[in-house]
């Protein structure tokens, strides 16, 4: 196949993952690189090295003026408020690189220079009639780092820059890149297909990284399936889950289920709940501190963001699903979900159980043994037990569990999550599912 890769952004760390791009994006295909450079001023040494390594058939530094916009009137989250112009430069840069396209291609990939890929892109899984966007880091929109499509669609996707004034001023949209690209695609009537391309922003080389949060936080994976281990590197600790085949029928009777739940489902839910309880007990017995717990269908997108948990002293969700307060309200809740999410601020937020609940126990933070003991003591034993995520929801209602971090640090690895036993009940609706 003939592939075009449109690289945009800063040149920092351009050489650190060249081979990674070759292995996971280029593969055996015939690839042309294009580049839009945003370094200001241009670092000649970095530029020369980049051009020699990637040999783009065309590149450009975009210096066209920004649209005439009063930035004080542009909506943004707290973290983006000081850097609104930087976000504008990003869209300008992508517009510049799309103008360089010279040939016809089977697929065109728009991506940042500083992205590290953790698996090979499966080109057979792409939809030729849609913009293909990897799962993860949606932040109430669609992640804006990577997109794959045929030429007409990718050109429409990258046309945000020429619509900025209309979106931000006339239509009063937020400058948050993820929500803006979602709005742009809806406005253009472009279909979205989600694809599996696990990735992260390549870490900056600095002293901070050498003493990063991985030394402060222990990330423990409740691991039930051997085939899921390969996506975890040395930054994760694998904790063997109770396997559902080892759960007895008597143990399943200690947990409340709907009357028509089959025995396999009961055993899997029981195994999951027992695994979480055992890990909480381990934290208590060994007096552990700063423990991040994730299930093996979950990953940490950005380990440096674990630093945001350093001063958290209570149980805190770092990933999950925003749901209606009551089961009967699910359909009605879909219409107001986005408006509720619009009120989330970046950082620690408080759950309002009258407005929503956070479902699933796929990713959360336990600061110390005291908190683990308090949580465990609040959960019933014997035949009053429930599934672990249901237990945590009940503690939300009691104001015992009340915190979550936004955007999520732990996100579902959809390739595994979609195969999980609970997703026959909780369907994954792309960006609408995870907060």
* d(C-alpha 365, C-alpha 23), whole Å: 34
pLDDT given at position 83: 54
Of 383 and 138, the structure prediction assigns the larger pLDDT to: 138
pLDDT given at position 203: 52
pLDDT given at position 214: 44
Residue 188, judged by CB atoms within 10 A of its CB (0-12, 13-18, 19+), counts as: middle
Instruction: Identify which of 365, 435, 374, 376 has the alpha carbon closest to the alpha carbon of residue 403.
Output: 365
Residue 275, judged by CB atoms within 10 A of its CB (0-12, 13-18, 19+), counts as: buried
Domain count, the chain: 2
What are the structure tokens assigned to 327, written together?
Answer: 């089961």
Same domain, 188 and 293: no
Alpha helices in 286-368 (DSSP H): 330-341
pLDDT at 46 over 50: yes
Q: What is the pLDDT of residues 211-233, one digit of tens each?
A: 334 457 999 999 888 878 888 88
pLDDT at 413 over 80: no
Mean pLDDT of 228-242: 87
pLDDT at 259 over 80: no
pLDDT at 290 over 80: yes
Residue with tokens 């728009």: 110
Highest mean pLDDT among 41-45, 295-299, 378-382: 295-299
> Where among 201, 216, 237 does a domain terminate?
201
Q: What is the pLDDT of residues 297-341, one digit of tens each?
A: 888 878 888 999 989 999 999 988 888 877 566 666 767 777 777
Which letter does DSSP use for residue 82 in this model? G
Contact predicate 366/280, CB 8 Å: yes
Instruction: Identify which of 392, 400, 427 has the alpha carbon closest to the alpha carbon of residue 272.
Output: 392
Same domain, 211 and 197: no
189: how many CB neighbours lie within 10 A of its CB? 7
% the chain with pLDDT above 70: 83
> Where among 173, 201, 229 does a domain terminate?
201
pLDDT given at position 84: 64
* d(C-alpha 153, C-alpha 44), whole Å: 34
What are the structure tokens assigned to 93, written together?
Answer: 């840069």
Of 270 and 63, the structure prediction assigns the larger pLDDT to: 270
3-state secondary structure of 166: helix
Which residue segment(s) compose the domain that 131 sits in? 2-201
pLDDT given at position 428: 44
% the chain with pLDDT above 90: 34
Same domain, 192 and 265: no
Using the Cα atoms of residue 187, residue 188, residue 189 and residue 195 in order, give the sign of their dihedral. negative
Cis ω for the linkage preceding 407 (within 30 of 0): yes
Same domain, 279 and 405: yes
Instruction: Identify which of 405, 388, 404 has the alpha carbon closest to the alpha carbon of residue 241.
Output: 388
Q: What is the pLDDT of residues 100-139, one digit of tens each?
A: 888 889 999 999 888 888 889 999 999 999 999 988 777 6
Same domain, 125 and 184: yes
Is 0.75 surpassed by the pTM of this model?
no
What are the structure tokens assigned to 414, written together?
Answer: 């959809």
Same domain, 10 and 77: yes
Measured in Å, how far apart are the chain's first and last C-alpha atoms? 37
Cross-strand partners of 255: 385
Q: What is the pLDDT of residues 182-191, one digit of tens each?
A: 999 999 999 9
What are the structure tokens assigned to 395, written together?
Answer: 């503690």
Q: What is the pLDDT of residues 193-215, one digit of tens each?
A: 988 888 877 654 333 333 334 45
Highest mean pLDDT among 4-13, 187-196, 417-426: 187-196
pLDDT given at position 372: 95
3-state secondary structure of 107: strand
Same domain, 196 and 240: no
pLDDT given at position 155: 93
Residue 393, judged by CB atoms within 10 A of its CB (0-12, 13-18, 19+), counts as: buried
pLDDT given at position 211: 32
* d(C-alpha 131, C-alpha 152), whole Å: 10
Considering the chain, what is the average pLDDT of its residues? 82
Lowest-confidence segment of 90-99, 178-187, 274-283, 418-427 by average pLDDT = 418-427
pLDDT at 421 over 60: no
Contact predicate 357/89, CB 8 Å: no
The DSSP code sequence of 347-412 is: EEEE--TTT-EEEEEEEEEE-SHHHHHHHHHHS--GGGB--HHHHHHHHHHTTSS-EEEES-SEEE
Lowest-confidence segment of 4-8, 42-46, 189-193 by average pLDDT = 42-46
* d(C-alpha 365, C-alpha 219), whole Å: 9
> Where among 169, 201, 233 does a domain terminate?
201
pLDDT at 243 over 50: yes
3-state secondary structure of 52: helix
Same domain, 364 and 227: yes
Same domain, 86 and 234: no
> pLDDT band for position 429 (50/70/90)?
very low
pLDDT at 29 over 80: yes
| CATH code, 157 | 3.90.550.10
* d(C-alpha 111, C-alpha 200), whole Å: 12
pLDDT given at position 414: 64
* d(C-alpha 161, C-alpha 170), whole Å: 15
pLDDT given at position 256: 67
pLDDT given at position 258: 59
* d(C-alpha 430, C-alpha 7), whole Å: 26
* d(C-alpha 104, C-alpha 246), whole Å: 56
Instruction: Identify which of 303, 135, 86, 300 has the alpha carbon closest to the alpha carbon of residue 203.
Output: 303
Of 267 and 281, the structure prediction assigns the larger pLDDT to: 281
Mean pLDDT of 156-172: 86
Contact predicate 195/134, CB 8 Å: yes
> pLDDT band for position 401 (50/70/90)?
very high
pLDDT given at position 374: 94
Same domain, 185 and 315: no
Same domain, 226 and 338: yes
Same domain, 195 and 231: no
| CATH code, 405 | 3.90.550
Over its C-alpha atoms, the chain yields an Rg (Å, rounded) of 23
């Amino acid at each position: 196949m003939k592939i075009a890769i449109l690289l945009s952004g800063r040149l920092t760390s351009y050489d650190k993952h060249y081979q990674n791009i070759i292995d996971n994006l280029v593969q055996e295909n015939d690839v042309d690189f294009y580049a839009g450079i945003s370094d200001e001023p241009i670092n000649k040494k970095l530029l020369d090295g980049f051009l020699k390594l990637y040999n783009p058939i065309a590149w450009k530094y975009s210096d066209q003026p920004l649209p005439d916009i009063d930035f004080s009137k542009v909506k943004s989250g707290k973290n983006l408020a000081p850097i609104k112009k930087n976000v504008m430069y990003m869209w300008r840069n992508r517009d510049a690189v799309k103008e360089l396209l010279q040939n016809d291609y089977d697929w065109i990939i728009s991506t940042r220079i500083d992205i590290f890929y953790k698996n090979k892109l499966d080109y057979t899984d792409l939809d030729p009639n849609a913009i293909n966007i990897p799962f993860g880091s949606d932040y109430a929109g669609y992640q804006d780092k990577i997109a794959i499509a045929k030429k007409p669609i990718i050109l429409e996707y990258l046309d945000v820059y020429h619509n900025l004034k209309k979106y931000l001023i006339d239509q009063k949209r937020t400058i948050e890149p993820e929500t803006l690209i979602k709005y742009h695609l809806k406005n253009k009537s472009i279909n979205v297909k989600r694809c599996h391309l696990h990735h992260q922003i390549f870490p900056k080389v600095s002293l901070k990284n050498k003493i990063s949060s991985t030394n402060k936080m222990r990330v423990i994976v409740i691991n039930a399936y051997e085939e899921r281990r390969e996506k975890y590197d040395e930054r994760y600790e694998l904790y063997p889950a109770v396997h559902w085949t080892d759960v007895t029928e008597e143990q399943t009777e200690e947990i409340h289920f709907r009357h028509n739940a089959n025995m396999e489902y009961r055993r899997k839910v029981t195994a999951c709940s027992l695994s979480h309880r055992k890990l909480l007990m381990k934290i208590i017995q060994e007096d552990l501190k700063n423990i991040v717990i994730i299930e093996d269908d979950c990953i940490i997108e950005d380990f440096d963001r674990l630093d945001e948990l350093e001063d958290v002293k209570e149980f805190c969700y770092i990933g999950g699903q925003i749901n209606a307060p009551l089961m009967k309200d699910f359909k009605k809740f879909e219409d107001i979900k986005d408006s509720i999410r619009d009120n989330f601020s970046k950082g620690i937020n408080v759950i309002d159980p009258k407005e929503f609940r956070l479902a699933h126990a796929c990713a959360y933070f336990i600061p110390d043994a005291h908190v683990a003991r308090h949580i465990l003591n609040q959960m019933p034993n014997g035949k009053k037990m429930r599934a672990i995520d249901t237990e945590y929801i009940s503690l939300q209602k009691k104001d015992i569990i009340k915190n979550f971090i936004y955007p999520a640090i732990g996100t579902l690895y959809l390739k595994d999550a979609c195969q999980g036993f609970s997703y026959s009940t909780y369907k994954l609706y792309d960006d609408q599912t995870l907060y």
